[in-house]
Structure formats: C-alpha cells, structure tokens
Amino acid sequence: MKTLYLAGGCFWGTQKYFDQFPGVLRTTVGYANGTTEHPSYEDVKKRHTGHAETVKVEFDETVLPVRTLLGYYFDVIDPFSVNRQGEDEGIQYRTGIYYDDETLVPAIREVFDAVQNRAERPLAVQVKPLAQFYDAEEYHQKYLEKNPGGYCHIPERMFHRTEEQS
C-alpha cells in the first residue's frame, strides 16, 4: 500500500472523486501542511492556520499506479488557480501533492513535469513533502455520501467514470 496526500480544493468532492477508482483502498479528509497542531475546521477556515484541505489517498500501486492516480488528480483540478477551486477561495483550497514516501517522488515529478510542459504558464500546484496531516472531524468524512446533493466544486460528469473516459 502507498499513500499520497492530495489537496484539490474542497475535500468533500475530492474524496468522493478518488473513492470511485479501483485500487483506492481508503481515503481520509483532513488538514495538511499548516502552522498549528490539531486544527479544527473553524481554525482552518477562519484563523489562517495555513493548512490545505487535503485527501489522504491510500492505494494499491499494483492496481492503481502513481502516474495514473495523479493523472486523475490533474483531470479534476484547475492547476493554474492560486488558492481557489470552483467557488471556494482561500489558502485552504490550494492545490498540492504532498508525500511522505521519497520513492514516489520520481513518478510525481514525471507527471507534474509532463503537465507543466504542456502548459503555457506555471502551475500553481505545490509538490512538497508532507509536514503534517490531521484528520478532519468525523462529519466531514465521506460527507457527500452522508449528504447527497451537498455542495461540490467538481462537475457531476467526473463521477462514475469508466476506464474509457480516463
């Protein structure tokens, strides 16, 4: 099992999006790479803790290679937007690929560089080691499963994907 921490805007939709792919074993929403310990949602939203809403994605690399997982990630974010995804704005909605396993860095760099090379301007996606990750409150976990029709910045067409769409 491997783990990546993916910040892609509001973590509700990002979690639902990654949960649909074979090879994803578990996802957890939380707060990454900020300046305070054990922040609450209110802290992150109102107290400028510097954390990003992030999804911890645990996956089986033999089923879902890192490059494929990151291809899905880039399919669903605006990689040029600074501190904003959809209607959500603020540093907590920045995009980032965070890792705690150095063996994943070559694949991360390969995908990032390929996307950057096709782009006409710099990407606003952070690629950094994970400084820390704190699980979000329970009511945020699988939020869109618990609250069908809840707000999501990711277009509905991105859910229920098939291999042909990838």
Catalytic site positions: 10
Q: What are phi and psi of 30, to 5 degrees?
A: -170, -165
How many beta carbons lie within 10 A of that of residue 128, not counting itself?
Answer: 12
